[in-house]
Amino acid sequence: MGSFDEIKMCLHGKGRITKVKPQLVDIVFCDNSPDIGINDIRPLVERLFNSKGNNLDTAHIIEYDSDVYFSKIPPSDWNFTWECGWVDGASEMEWKNNSWMYEVCGIGINDVMIRFRYYATSYQQTMHYLYSIGWKLRDNDAILLGSGWRYYGEGGQNLKVIFEQPLNKFFHQNTIVLDKFTKRTHSQGMWG
């Protein structure tokens, strides 16, 4: 996952996310693929806590996973645009009633405090959940979009949906949006 390389550079104050070493990095990943499990995520996350490739020192790390239960149907007031929707709403792949999350917190590479969360849900469901608990992206935050994001959704997620209702309320106007090729603030919109 190329995003992990971007995050590792960020921990040193390098790369496209920031040019200054952060004190704290709060990372949220999500994917609704049934083929991804905790055993796939854990080795990638361990790389953020270990720069020398040796065994992970877990003395200063809190790690847990839990089941997450959502409503059976997406909230109607968010009016989502579904990538793989049914006629009457989201598919089971895009809105899961039962899922899981994995969290790791501790001092990582370059003595940066890291909070990493992985949700086994779609980006729309994850954004809605985080927003509903009072967590959203601020002016000094960044979102890294995977290589599956396309300007018109050709074979992937449609980039324009994060600039439109309802997902745009998850972002601050100065949140940095990084895709494979570009860097822009959320207020610059799709073609920034």
Q: Over the stretch 108-124, which tens digit does the pLDDT of each residue have?
A: 889 999 999 999 998 88
Residue 7 in any domain: the answer is no
Q: Is the pTM of this model over 0.95?
A: no
d(CA 192, CA 190): 6
Residues 125 and 37 in one domain: yes
Q: Directed axis angle between helix 2-10 and helix 38-49, to 10°?
A: 30
Residues 117 and 183 in one domain: no
pLDDT for position 94: 75
CA angle 63, 73, 123 (to 5 degrees): 50
Q: Over the stretch 31-77, which tens digit does the pLDDT of each residue have?
A: 888 899 999 999 889 888 875 554 556 666 899 999 998 887 777 77
Closest CA to 106 of 116, 121, 117, 95: 116
Q: Which residue has the higher pLDDT, 190 or 170?
A: 170
Q: What range defines the domain where residue 173 resides?
A: 136-192
pLDDT for position 65: 93
16, two tokens: 């496209």
124, two tokens: 């729309």
* Total count of domains within the chain: 2
Residues 84 and 119 in one domain: yes
Residues 113 and 142 in one domain: no
Residue 41 in any domain: the answer is yes
